[in-house]
Amino acid sequence: MIDIEQLQKIKEHYAFREETELLRFLHQYPSLTFILEEIQYRIKSYFSEAQLALQFVIDPDADADNLKAIDIDGDLVVSIVTHLPALEAVKLLKNFYMGWWLNTTNQTKN
């Protein structure tokens, strides 16, 4: 279970979207708070003025009975809200993916 301090720390960096589902997911996987802290730090090194949003999105192809289970099939999504021109933002996002994210995703799957 996620503790209040961890949750407050995450809320300092992310706007929560659909908070009920998100909190349920974070309570189920409290170790994700550490990677979320790292992600925001890394994103800010590419998008210094961006705002970040966090949302748990349920897989639309998931079995309806599964949605009530503890292990909900879905994804944790971090959105980067920026006012940069589109081409510049895409270039920075590509640099983020290549420079850090692709090397890190294997850690989150375990």
24-33 tens-digit pLDDT: 889 888 888 8
Q: Which residue has the tokens 């209040």?
A: 4
Q: What is the mean pLDDT of residues 35-63?
A: 88
Q: Is the pLDDT of residue 42 over 60?
A: yes
Q: Assign 106 a pLDDT band (cuts: 50, 70, 90).
A: low
Expressed as residue numbers, the domain containing 35 is: 4-108
Sign of CA dihedral 37, 40, 42, 44: negative
3-state secondary structure 66-80: HHHCCCCCEEEEEEE
Q: For residues 6 and 26, what is the distance between their CA atoms, to the nearest angstrom? A: 10
pLDDT(15) > 60: yes
Q: How far apart are CA 32 and CA 43, in angstroms?
A: 16
* In contact, 80 and 50? CB cutoff 8 Å: yes
pLDDT, position 63: 59
User: Each residue of 92-103: pLDDT tens digit?
Assistant: 999 998 887 767
Supply the pTM of this predicted model. 0.77
| Beta carbons of 82 and 89 less than 8 angstroms apart | yes
Q: How far apart are CA 45 and CA 49, in angstroms?
A: 10
> Number of structural domains, the chain?
1
- What number is the average pLDDT over the span 14-34? 90
Who has greater pLDDT, 100 or 52? 52
Indicate whether 58 pLDDT > 90: no
pLDDT of residue 103: 72
CA distance 94 to 101: 10
